[in-house]
Amino acid sequence: MKLIIFLAVWGFFSGCKILLTFFGKPNGLEAKYPLFFLTISLVALYVIPMIFLIRYLAKRFDISKKVVHLSWVLGITASYYFSGIGQTLLGAFWLLVVKPPQSFIDAWGAAVTAPIHEEVGKGLVVLLVLLLFKQLNLKNALVSGLIVGLSFQVVEDCVYTFQQIFTAKTDGFATLIERIVHAGGTHWTFSLVFAVGMVALISKNRGMTKTQGLFWLSMAVLAHFLLNTPFNAGLTSDTAEVTILMLCFNLCLALAAFKSVDRIENNIEKSA
């Protein structure tokens, strides 16, 4: 338990350090901070509806407020830190061991690394939260995974917008709008599905086998991989239909995981 507390606290403060350091470097463009804050306020377009969804699920599954609150806190901070560690390790592996050509890195680098280091990083945060409160079960994994993924998504949207405004010297509006449109089928769906699969794999639970857990975990990584491939050129490209198909698939995957957990919980209640 002491190790779990240490990792959670370390991840929180390390994540805070990363975010404060990143957002504190305006490259001499301090006057653009009001534009940045005004632009990122648009994430409320998807965050507010998702908060209502989280409240509904927390009530439906009787999730502790402690789990909900800590998932938000560590999702915003520690998930980005743990993901960053994974990114460094995976990047070193590909560059120093595999040594692919630069053309492969440019086209497929994000696809072969991000689904692993980001999902594992977010999954570790979910695991820490559930272990801290001794709630290592499917329903808590589902809700915590959703929150951590959504938190990560918000931070990433802020990071991309910040880069556009303070580095690329644009208004960041177009980038953020496209990411908001993507929000219905990205990080929160991956993390929700990954968390359910992870808990099914590592814990004793009623209703979901280890094989099913491995299936859900693998599908989360696969869905993230597909979205990061060159086949997804964005909603403004000539292949926008492919992007729409991927987003719909991700959303359906999350809904299927929810239905599976909901059915298991209903069966547990009936047999109690």
The more confident residue out of 10 and 204 is: 10
Q: Is the pLDDT of residue 272 over 70?
A: no
Single pTM value for the model = 0.96
Total count of residues recorded for the chain: 272
Mean predicted lDDT score pLDDT of the chain: 93
- How far apart (Å, rounded) are the C-alpha atoms in residues 253 and 215? 11
- Per domain, the residue ranges of the chain are 32-264
Please list the alpha-helical segments (H only) found in 133-239.
Answer: 138-166, 173-182, 187-202, 210-228
For 180-224, how does the pLDDT look when each residue is reduced to its tens digit (9 = 90+)?
999 999 999 999 999 999 999 999 877 899 999 999 999 999 999
- How far apart (Å, rounded) are the C-alpha atoms in residues 127 and 271? 27
For 137-151, how does the pLDDT look when each residue is reduced to its tens digit (9 = 90+)?
999 999 999 999 999
